[in-house]
Amino acid sequence: MSGFVSFVSSGPGDPELLTLKAVDRLQNADAILYDDLASGPILAHARDGADLIGVGKRAGRVSPKQHHVSRLLVDHARSGQKVVRLKSGDAGLFGRLEEEVVALREAGIDFEIIPGVTTPCAAAAIAGIPLTRRLTSRRVQFITGSDVTGGLPEDLNWGALADPGATTAVFMGRRTFSELAQRLIAEGLPPDTPALIAESLSRPEQRLTLGTVATLATDLKEATGGAPTLILIGPLAELRAGGLP
């Protein structure tokens, strides 16, 4: 007997940004394995009696190993359950989706992937700005600011990232952004390139800060705390006059 796994993307955390398909899978799941950033009010859609299992990973905290999370998915599905693997943002972006999909395929378990609102799209929308701009930003690039050790990845395409005509979204870059900014400036990115820091996006403690690559690198270097953070870099200068929500 084999069940079925739905990878459900929860978006940035606001339950109103869930897709109808995501809500349906949550309401009909026998077990929900959820990330820290995909919990809270989103889990209110779970039916009574569903198993709710926290498997989130957060920097600097004791977290389940990836092989353990994959094993849980396989074991629950093999018992015939409808399983939801609830991931923050979009499951396909820096969410360790590949490892879990491989485990299910090797076990012969069927699955689906339900897309969601990406964190960069949500950050731009909340800030009231576009991710692209006609003539000045025709390309958007998503990168991670943290490798498996927690440090800044060394194999990034620095030339592409220093392109002043692109919008760059940096995931998991809170701790490494000061170093990243230094590298980008050394590669030719103007220090006054606009940058936006979005912390705890779509949550009550949400905070948006608009500055430049240079000023925000200094701010983050001196900042304390571990709020989930996304950083946008790009040609946003003309949008400063309108302020931020």
Same domain for 126 and 236, yes or no, is yes
Please say which residue of 80, 114, 148 terminates a domain. Answer: 114
> Measuring CA to CA, how many Å separate 35 from each of 12, 38, 95, 112?
12, 5, 10, 18
Indicate whether 95 and 21 sit together in one domain.
yes
211 shares a domain with 140: yes
Choose one of 90, 114, 138: the last residue of a domain.
114
Contacts of 241 (CB under 8 A, 6+ apart): none
**Same domain as 85, residue 15:** yes
Per-block mean pLDDT, blocks of 10 residues, the chain (245 long) = 92 94 98 90 96 78 80 96 96 94 96 96 90 85 92 93 94 94 95 92 88 91 81 73 52
Angle at 82 between CA 79 and CA 87, to 5 degrees: 115
Domain that holds residue 166: 119-242
What pLDDT, on a 0 to 100 scale, did the predictor assign at position 1?
Answer: 62
**156/234 same-domain check:** yes
Write down the pLDDT at residue 132. Answer: 87
The SS3 assignment for 55 reads coil
Examine the domain organization and report whether 206 and 226 are in the same domain: yes
d(CA 227, CA 224): 9
Based on C-alpha coordinates, what's the Rg of the chain?
Answer: 19
What's phi and psi for 58, nearest 5 deg?
A: -130, 140
Tell me the CB-side half-sphere exposure of residue 137, using CA atoms within 13 A.
23
CATH number of the domain within which 50 lies = 3.40.1010.10
Among 76, 96, 114, identify where a domain stops. 114
pLDDT of residue 241: 45
- Residues with catalytic roles: 35, 57
**Number of structural domains found in the chain:** 2
Q: Give the pLDDT score at 227.
A: 85
Q: Which two tokens stand for residue 27?
A: 């309401």
Question: Do residue 123 and residue 108 come from a single domain?
Answer: no
The set of residues, in sequence order, having a beta carbon less than 8 Å from that of 196 and lying 6+ positions away, is 123, 127, 129, 208, 209, 210, 231, 232, 236
Do 171 and 106 fall into the same domain?
A: no
Q: Are residues 95 and 12 in the same domain?
A: yes
What pTM was estimated for this model as a whole?
0.89
